[in-house]
Every structure is written in structure tokens, then in C-alpha cells.
Amino acid sequence: MKWLMKSMLVGLLVVAPIYLAVLLVAGATKKALGIVRPMAVFIPDWLPGEQLLALLLVLGLCVLVGAALATQAGKVAMERAERVLFERLPGYAVLRGLTQQLASSGRKDEASWKPALIEIEDALVPGFVIEDLSDGRCTVFVPSVPTPMAGAIYVIDRARVHLVDVKFAQAVKTISRWGSGMNELVDAMEKPGPTR
């Protein structure tokens, strides 16, 4: 029963955002049909003109919102909305963190979510260093397989954490493929050293 509940929760964290996004776009497209109906008469009958124009209208709106959020005022408004609304949603912070890391993967200034192999019991497990603590330990996130959006957080001795010299996206890819590609992570594992 415990396994079933955990599997259902992990699956829900993957399926729910995709399903909600599809519903949102479909609903917005349906609402936009009334706006584009007068223009659809100029499109040939063999082409689904109303649906196509409605979808283009919704996608255009998404571009405008994205451009507005790229401005300084848009960033401030988004940060405020995250604090007030989104951070109260379960799993939002983890999903946002993973998305930001995937977007910034490969940048030299990437400071957090460092891929690592962590010694837990008698095994090495893939995970990410979230932050180093002042007492020589660090906070690590060990994702569940095959989804990196759920997992466990550990505060663990830094000597049991082996950084892996690979990009964040490659570590996520290995986790989401049930460990396929782990050989590359093991080969790129750094030897334990002093606290960084």
C-alpha cells in the first residue's frame, strides 16, 4: 500500500502539470473561438480555420505574457505572485527549482543543485548538493526514480558526498532513464575532499 501511494504521488507530480497545461490551452482556445470566428471566413473550408486562429491567438498571448515577464516590472510582479499564490501549491518550489536549473544548465555561474553521488548505507545514489553548511555537512536532494521532481532531503557529512563533473541536465536524464548512463556519472565522480 505504501509503495502504491508513493508511486501514485510521483506519477501525479508528473502527469498533473501536463494535464493542467493541456486543459488550460484547450479552454483558452475554446474561449478564443468567438473572437476569431469573423476572421475564419477568409480561410479555406478544408482547413480548420477557427481552431487554428484560436490556437495562434492563445500562443500569441503566451508570447506577449512571456515578453512582459522579461521586463523588470514583470519580474517584480511574478515574484510577488509566486510568494502570494504559487509557493503555497505543493511541489511548485521543487518544479520551479528544477526548471531553473535545466534552463541555466551549462552556465559557469551555476551555484546550486550540483550533481553528486551520495553515500547512503552501502551504496552510491545520484543526487544534488543544494547547499554547504558551516559545520562541514551539506544539504542534498536525492530524487526518486524515474522522476527528479520528488525525493528526499538529507543533511549529510560532506565526506560522503562525491561531486560529479557533469551538467545538471545529464544527471537528470540519467535519473529519468532509471539509471541508464550511470557509468558516465561514476567515471566523472570526484574524490572526497574538504568542505567547499
Pull the grid cell for residue 3.
Answer: 509503495
- CATH number for the domain spanning 148: value is 2.30.30.140
Share of the chain above pLDDT 90, in %: 5
pLDDT-derived band at 87, boundaries 50, 70, 90: low
Q: Which residue has the higher pLDDT, 2 or 70?
A: 70
**Grid coordinates belonging to 110:** 551555476
In a domain, 14, yes or no: yes
42/86 same-domain check: yes
- Tell me if 194 sits within 8 A of 127, measured CB to CB: no
Residues 63 and 6 in one domain: yes
Q: What is the pLDDT of residue 99?
A: 60
- H or E segment to which residue 83 belongs: helix 72-84
pLDDT recorded at residue 155: 93
Query: Which residues lie below 8 Å from residue 148, measured CB to CB, with a gap of 6+?
Result: 98, 172, 175, 176
Are 62 and 141 contained in the same domain?
A: no
Q: Does residue 104 lie in a domain region? A: no
| pLDDT band at 48; cut points 50, 70, 90 | low
Task: Kindly indicate the confidence band of residue 91, based on its pLDDT and cuts at 50, 70 and 90.
Answer: low
pLDDT score recorded for residue 7: 72
Domain contains 195? no
Spatial contact of 131 and 139, defined as CB atoms under 8 Å apart: yes
Supply the pLDDT for residue 57.
Answer: 79
- One domain for residues 66 and 20: yes
**What distance in Å separates the CA atoms of residue 116 and residue 170, rounded to the nearest whole number?**
12
- 48 or 19: which carries more pLDDT confidence? 19
Residue 169: count of CB within 10 angstroms of its CB:
14
Is 61 found in the same domain as 22?
A: yes
* More reliable by pLDDT, 93 or 27: 27
Amino acid at 158: R
**In whole numbers, what is the pLDDT of the chain averaged over residues?**
76
Same domain, 85 and 6: yes
Q: Is residue 78 in some structural domain?
A: yes
- Domain extent at residue 20: 2-90
pLDDT the model gives residue 192: 53
Which residues, in sequence order, are bridge partners of residue 161?
Answer: 118
Question: What pLDDT is stored for residue 196 in this prediction?
Answer: 44
159 within some domain? yes
Domain count of the fold of the chain = 2
